[in-house]
Amino acid sequence: MRAITIPEFGDEQVLTLADVPDPTPGPGDVLIDVAAAGVNRADLLQRKGFYDPPAGASPLPGLEVSGTVAAVGADVTDWRPGDRVCALLTGGGYAQQVVVPAGQVLPVPEGVDLVDAAGLPEVVCTVWSNVFDTARLRAGDVLLIHGGSSGIGTMAIQLAVAAGATVAVTAGTAAKLDACRDLGATILINYREEDFVTELSRLTDGHGADVILDVIGAKYLDRNVSALADGGRLVVIGLQGGATAELNLGKLMATRGSVIGTTLRSRTDADKARVVAGVREQAWPLIEAGTVRPIIFERVPFAEAPRAHRILADSHHVGKVLLVP
Ligand SMILES: NC(=O)c1ccc[n+]([C@@H]2O[C@H](COP(=O)([O-])OP(=O)(O)OC[C@H]3O[C@@H](n4cnc5c(N)ncnc54)[C@H](OP(=O)(O)O)[C@@H]3O)[C@@H](O)[C@H]2O)c1
């Protein structure tokens, strides 16, 4: 089959369309004919050599796909050839076919285009597991999302609004903040022009954020802790602003706050299956009702994979970029 490979680490031009061996499903696996693969910021880090696939995972990039089931391995009873599906992967999505444990497969939600469904698994699973499963966002809470216009951010806004939360976002341009408002965010902070701690406090009458979904890490740690409401939960899922910072524990104690860090990719297959089951039960009905939808910025052909990575690096996009074989 054809796949986008990383023969050497480097800029986006290293991405190379090549022939690679066809994958075969083992017991408990599903083989998918890929209709599209979602592009995630993690793929850019992997390409640069900063994010190795976990042991045993495909060396090919790609953490999510949509497509059609081509075959199933022994012991798989939930899926059949021809089923329209999307899947959360540990790697291997940038290819014409991919093998994935059956527990990480989801049906394409009713009413969603097969290709667009590739933009769902990674963001919905990440947002659900962090914001709802771990940080326990509830109706009436204030959620602060850094990077509201990102793939992750556009899904987090929609799911949190659907859950009855007040959503605050940061973004770097007025146009991106407008896009976040269209999705339901009501507190819009341009982080290049305003201090998010001051603005959030002002616009929530001093309350702050019950939950913060953070993709910046070290650079925002101190200010994030300052922005927490009493008993607030800061969940760090990205390190675009570095990994090491000083934490004022006194400030954390005073607000009875929590700081949590997670990655989805390194979780066990069993844990990923648990997240996927939670998403299917709690988030999928919102998508099928049309309350929440995949936000797709562009579909890019496999042959132009370097351009797809350049779009994310330049960061003028809103939502997801997809690669189409
Ligand atoms: N831990 C996990 O399991 C997990 C899973 C999925 C994703 N992630 C992380 O989530 C993040 C988003 O991923 P993605 O694929 O959705 O990427 P993406 O679409 O490329 O989004 C990156 C976002 O970061 C924003 N940003 C950059 N600097 C910022 C700053 N100083 N303040 C606020 N926002 C800033 C950008 O907004 P502007 O262009 O406006 O600056 C952009 O919207 C990445 O860091 C990724 O590694 C983690």
Q: Note the pLDDT of residue 59.
A: 95
* Structure tokens given for 170: 């940061």
Confirm or reject: Cβ of 149 under 6 Å from ligand 1: yes
Length of the chain counted residue by residue: 325
Q: Cβ(225) to ligand 1 under 6 A?
A: no
Q: Among the three residues 217, 243, 261, which one is the final residue of a domain in this structure?
A: 261
Residues 38, 114 share a domain: yes
- Residues 241 and 272 both lie in one domain: no
Of 232, 261, 290, which residue constitutes the final position of a domain?
261
Whether residues 105 and 203 share a domain: the answer is no
The enclosing domain of 172 has a CATH number of 3.40.50.720
Identify the pLDDT of residue 310: 98
Pocket test for ligand 1, best of 150, 176, 296 (most atoms within 8 A of CB): 150
Strand blocks (E) in 14-151: 16-19, 29-39, 64-72, 84-88, 97-101, 105-107, 142-146
Q: Could you tell which of 40, 145, 170 is best to mutate to test the pocket of ligand 1, judged by most ligand atoms within 8 Å of the CB?
A: 40
Write down which residue in 261, 278, 300 finishes a domain.
261
Could you tell me how many helices (H) and strands (E) the chain has, helices first? 10, 15
Question: Does residue 113 share a domain with residue 10?
Answer: yes
Atom of ligand 1 nearest to the CA of 319: 19
- Which phi-psi region, left, alpha or beta, contains residue 55 (left: φ > 0; alpha: ψ -120 to 50)? beta
Residues 163 and 286 in one domain: no
Q: Are 303 and 210 in the same domain?
A: no
Q: Mark residue 56 as left, alpha or beta (left: phi above 0; alpha: psi -120 to 50; beta: remaining).
A: left
Residue type, 209: A
Q: Check whether residue 35 and residue 91 sit in a common domain.
A: yes
Same-domain check for residues 101 and 133: no
Q: So what's the pLDDT on residue 99?
A: 98
Cα distance between residue 72 and residue 27, in whole Å? 8
Same domain assignment for residues 227 and 278? no
Q: What is the three-class DSSP state of 83?
A: coil
CB atoms within 10 A of CB 165: 22
Instruction: Write out residues in the chain with pLDDT < 50, as ranges.
Output: none
Of 318, 304, 277, 58, nearest in space to 173 by CA: 318
pLDDT at position 32, please? 98
Which distant-in-sequence residues (6+ apart) come within 8 Å of 158 by Cβ? 183, 184, 286, 291, 292, 293
For the residues of 9-34, what is the DSSP string, one character each?
SSSGGG-EEEE-PPP---TTEEEEEE
Q: Report the DSSP beta bridge partners of residue 31.
A: 71, 99
- CATH number for position 315: 3.90.180.10
**pLDDT digits 0-9 by tens, 150-199:** 999 999 999 999 999 999 999 999 999 999 999 999 999 999 999 999 99
Look at the chain and report how many structural domains it folds into: 2
- Closest ligand 1 atom to residue 240 Cα is 45
Task: State the residue range of the domain holding 114.
Answer: 2-120+267-324
Write out the two tokens for 9. Answer: 């680490």
Write down the pLDDT at residue 111. 97
Phi, psi of 297 (to 5 degrees): -80, -50
Same domain, 276 and 246: no
Tokens 């089931």, located at residue: 69
The residue whose C-alpha atom lies closest to atom 48 belonging to ligand 1 is 237
Q: In angstroms, what is the span from residue 171 Cα to ligand 1's centroid?
A: 10
From the CB of 266, is ligand 1 less than 6 Å away?
no
What is residue 60's predicted lDDT score, i.e. its pLDDT?
97
- Do 166 and 190 fall into the same domain? yes
Residue 222 confidence (pLDDT):
98
pTM above 0.85, yes or no: yes
Regarding whether 278 and 255 lie in a shared domain, the answer is no
Is 215 touching ligand 1 by the criterion CB < 6 Å?
Answer: yes
